[in-house]
DNA sequence: CCGAGTTGGTTAACCGGTCCAGTCCTCAGG
DNA sequence: CCTGAGGACTGGACCGGTTAACCAACTCGG
């Protein structure tokens, strides 16, 4: 029977240091009003005793909490596959860690569930704010979350986020750049495989795609809206390649679908890039592992996550914020795009 | 100027329901001692007021917390790419959500940092327990965490976890099965691309690989220890394929490296599966997207995460636990493995 | 030598729950 | 009619911090 690990509290530290608990509190919050020797003595004692302030007690007292929430609403199998999220999360963490804050993560299966969750988190005061992703057009989260007054930052174009402070990338310009690049290579039939059109950024890209084609006087080409899963990307690619006038280039909405597209092309004996150019989105290492390597619209996802988090801290602190646009995804040409040369060129 | 959102507390609910705060507490904890009408009245009032018990106050009082910790120690870029973790996390969540608990996630860059983090989490009483992954041989986390008395469950073979309750898969048998399968197809030179040999499970697989080769009287074949990144897998594959007697089959330690290996084979003009068979580990959708599709040792990662979490709850509740072995990864043959037929067969 | 300021603390109320020790009421049994 | 048991509920101490208000002692200018 080992002695029961007696929980040590601020009182023990105070006693051991020969001061009041108030003094310990002052020391640990770096507030003025203590002499240097006393301060040091307190820290030394705390270190010896292995004490750190109980975070429940602290946040009960301060009415603040140092965790922020992130709810992801995509099927788990998919989440694992999309490099995007983990990298995004790591970006979040990078600034969270500086402030010794933590991330509360939850996977949900519907927006309604997410709304419930955010509300619960907030009501129970478990989070100080939230990061919202994957905005839909007329997103149902906007109204309830604003009503609750949860400090939140949204990832997405300001048009979509209904006044919730947002951080976004200029997808429209990026799509335009992608299409112009392919057109410059000589492609006339360019297709696009996008995410679900309910998703705001898919809609934006879809629109931008059409506009750019029109500007360039290219044929109105097929766009397929699908999920983000690789298999869906594969199916979409297959359907495009079976068209009578099949496209000579395809732009994908993420990297996973592009990898799948590459597989389909191989399976159907369509040479990449000679007969078909493929362009991925959200460049990740995955794009460099295939053969041929995948050209992509790359994007500093880590930095994106960091920026979002910084903005959230501003919101929580009550500082004024304006929508922040971060770097536009930029073209990284690799081996999967080239001038169309036709079969067996 | 909208009325400042007055925080409502248990006192307000009690007042509105015409009972004492004790009664509200009893109701919300489903404890006996209240009449059904009163109970319902309390719930109705709470719903109207949109109240949920403040979790800081609750855990301060109960000395319990309903979050568990997970620290991942791999470079962020890599984490995003490995489907394993997200799926593992989703498994954790699936049982956490049932108990309305949450997951505190943190990415760290070294084991020492993880130890610090776990210690801080525990000292501040931010977590009720922790899930530990990626055990090394003589893992430095074992001693400090046991000393602190953090309830923890480890992912890894009991031999590695130094008495910390663990959940594990029988990697040794799985490796044996993989090798036997390839041998049965007629392969004599089988290579392996593994994770860092410091990592416990890599070492176990490495050992099992050698043993099985010996049992089957196969040539002692090269094993390469590397990171888990795709690029490292690519490099390793390249070096294997440049050997004088190059292997006719390669077993990888994850799916990402196998995908990379496939790319390298294509790049070097080595036909898969005719000249080279590839076998992935931790089957994910990725394996079904390539061409040819990748054979893999598949593994219910989601269920693994769930089981680990269940065990952690047992540990936290003080229930006796024994190491739990979950299902052994099983062979899922696809198009990347076949009998060796030599070049241009 | 006095009063104002400053330095370096202490004290106690409070944050919002939980939970134990009672209190009050009802009802069965003797 | 009294007693005892059990059910329904209240009161208040307590969890471990923070913080505003207060205080003692020590400068220092006039």
pLDDT tens over chain A, length 345 residues = 333 467 899 999 999 999 999 999 999 999 999 999 999 999 999 999 999 999 999 999 999 999 999 999 877 667 667 788 888 998 999 999 898 899 999 989 899 999 999 999 999 999 999 999 999 999 999 999 999 999 999 999 999 999 999 999 999 999 999 999 999 999 999 999 999 888 999 999 999 999 999 999 998 888 899 988 888 999 999 999 999 999 999 999 999 999 999 999 999 999 999 999 999 998 888 899 999 999 999 989 999 999 999 999 999 999 988 999 999 999 999 999 999 986 644
Give the pLDDT confidence score for residue B5 in this predicted structure.
Answer: 59
Residues B261 and B278: their CA atoms lie apart, in Å, by: 8
Strand D surroundings (CB within 7 A): A 7, 9-11, 21-22, 24-26, 28-29, 31, 51, 53-54, 57-58, 60-62; B 18-23, 26, 32-35, 37-39, 57, 60-61, 63
Structure tokens at B291: 């061409």
Calculate the angstrom distance between C1' of D21 and CA of A33. Answer: 15
Interface test with A, best of B6, B53, B80 (most A CBs within 10 A): B80
Structure tokens at A28: 């640990």
Whether residue B259 and residue A286 make contact (CB cut-off 8 A), yes or no, is yes
Judged by DSSP in three states, A302 sits in: helix
Asked if A331 and A299 touch (Cβ cutoff 8 Å), the reply is: no
Listed in sequence order, the residues at least 6 apart from B184 whose beta carbon sits closer than 8 Å to its beta carbon are none
Closest approach of A247 to chain B, Cα-based (Å)? 21
Phi, psi of B272 (to 5 degrees): -110, 125
Give the pLDDT confidence score for residue B257 in this predicted structure.
Answer: 93
Average pLDDT in chain B: 92
Give the pLDDT confidence score for residue B4 in this predicted structure.
Answer: 46
Give the pLDDT confidence score for residue B341 in this predicted structure.
Answer: 87
Give the pLDDT confidence score for residue B74 in this predicted structure.
Answer: 78
Give the pLDDT confidence score for residue A77 in this predicted structure.
Answer: 65
Asked if A146 and A162 touch (Cβ cutoff 8 Å), the reply is: yes
pLDDT tens string B201-244: 999 999 999 999 999 999 888 889 998 888 899 999 999 999 99
Give the pLDDT confidence score for residue A1 in this predicted structure.
Answer: 36
Give, to the nearest 10 degrees, the angle between helix A10-17 and helix A21-28: 100
Q: What ranges make up the beta strands (E) of A4-90? A: 67-72
Residues B50 and A123: their CA atoms lie apart, in Å, by: 8
Split at pLDDT 50, 70, 90, the class of B3 is: very low
Whether residue A86 and residue B67 make contact (CB cut-off 8 A), yes or no, is no
Structure tokens at A120: 């619960």
SS (H, E, C) B229-286: CHHHHHHHHHHHHCCCCCCCEEEECCHHHHHHHHHHHHHCCCCCCCCCEEEEECCCCH
CB atoms within 10 A of CB A324: 16
pLDDT at B148 over 50: yes
Nearest to residue B274, comparing CAs of B343, B334, B184, B335? B343
Residues in chain B within 8 Å Cβ distance of A81: 83, 86, 284-286
pLDDT tens string B305-322: 999 999 999 999 999 889
Structure tokens at B327: 């299902």
Closest approach of A103 to chain B, Cα-based (Å)? 6
What is the nearest nucleotide to B31, using C1' and CA? C19
What is the nearest nucleotide to B33, using C1' and CA? D8
Give the pLDDT confidence score for residue A4 in this predicted structure.
Answer: 46
Give the pLDDT confidence score for residue B2 in this predicted structure.
Answer: 36
Omega cis (within 30) before B292:
yes
Residues B247 and B242: their CA atoms lie apart, in Å, by: 10
Interface test with B, best of A81, A148, A304 (most B CBs within 10 A): A81
Nearest to residue B242, comparing CAs of B276, B273, B213? B276
pLDDT tens string B158-169: 999 999 999 999
Residues B136 and A160: their CA atoms lie apart, in Å, by: 46
Nearest to residue B233, comparing CAs of B336, B81, B72? B81
pLDDT tens string B78-116: 666 677 888 899 899 999 988 889 999 998 989 999 999
Nearest to B123 among A51, A78, A107 (CB): A51
What's CA A232's distance to the chain center, in Å?
21
Interface test with A, best of B124, B149, B336 (most A CBs within 10 A): B124
Which bases of strand C sit closer than 7 A to a protein CB?
A: 7-12, 14-21
Whether residue B124 and residue A302 make contact (CB cut-off 8 A), yes or no, is no
Listed in sequence order, the residues at least 6 apart from B79 whose beta carbon sits closer than 8 Å to its beta carbon are A86, A87, A90, B72, B85, B107
Q: What ranges make up the beta strands (E) of chain A? A: 67-72, 102-107, 129-132, 152-155, 166-169, 190-194, 223-225, 249-252, 277-281, 295-298, 324-326, 330-332
What is the nearest nucleotide to B17, using C1' and CA? D9
Closest approach of A269 to chain B, Cα-based (Å)? 11
Say what the pTM is: 0.92
End-to-end CA distance of chain B: 81
Give the pLDDT confidence score for residue B39 in this predicted structure.
Answer: 97
Give the pLDDT confidence score for residue A5 in this predicted structure.
Answer: 60
Give the pLDDT confidence score for residue B145 in this predicted structure.
Answer: 96
pLDDT at B11 over 80: yes
């Amino acid at each position: 029977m080992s002695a029961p690990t007696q929980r040590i509290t601020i009182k023990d530290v105070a006693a051991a240091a020969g001061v009041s608990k108030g003094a310990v509190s002052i020391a640990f919050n770096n507030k003025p009003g203590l002499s240097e020797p006393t301060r040091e003595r307190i820290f030394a004692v705390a270190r010896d005793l292995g004490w750190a302030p109980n975070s429940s007690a602290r946040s009960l007292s301060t009415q603040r909490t140092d965790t922020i929430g992130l709810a992801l609403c995509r099927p788990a199998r998919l989440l694992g596959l999309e490099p995007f999220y983990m990298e995004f999360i790591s970006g979040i963490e990078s600034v969270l860690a500086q402030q010794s804050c933590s991330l509360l993560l939850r996977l949900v299966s519907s927006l309604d569930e997410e709304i419930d969750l955010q509300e619960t988190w907030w009501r129970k005061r478990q989070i100080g704010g939230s990061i919202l992703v994957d905005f839909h057009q007329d997103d149902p989260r906007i109204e309830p979350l604003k009503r609750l007054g949860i400090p939140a930052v949204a990832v997405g174009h300001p048009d979509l986020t209904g006044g919730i402070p947002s951080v976004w990338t200029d997808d429209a310009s990026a799509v335009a750049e992608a299409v112009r690049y392919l057109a410059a290579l000589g492609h006339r039939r360019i297709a696009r495989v996008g995410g679900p059109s309910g998703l705001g950024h898919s809609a934006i890209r879809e629109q931008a795609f059409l506009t750019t084609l029109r500007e360039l006087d290219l044929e109105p080409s097929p766009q397929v809206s699908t999920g983000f899963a690789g298999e869906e990307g594969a199916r979409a690619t297959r359907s495009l390649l079976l068209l009578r006038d099949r496209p000579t280039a395809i732009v994908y909405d993420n990297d996973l679908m592009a990898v799948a597209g590459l597989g389909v092309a191989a399976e159907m004996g369509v040479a990449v890039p000679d007969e078909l150019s493929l362009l991925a989105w959200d460049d990740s290492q995955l794009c460099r592992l295939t053969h041929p390597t995948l050209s992509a619209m790359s994007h500093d996802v880590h930095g994106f996550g960091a920026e979002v988090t910084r903005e959230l801290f501003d919101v929580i602190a009550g500082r004024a914020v304006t929508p922040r646009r971060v770097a536009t995804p930029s073209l990284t040409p690799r081996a999967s795009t080239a001038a169309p040369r036709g079969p067996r060129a």
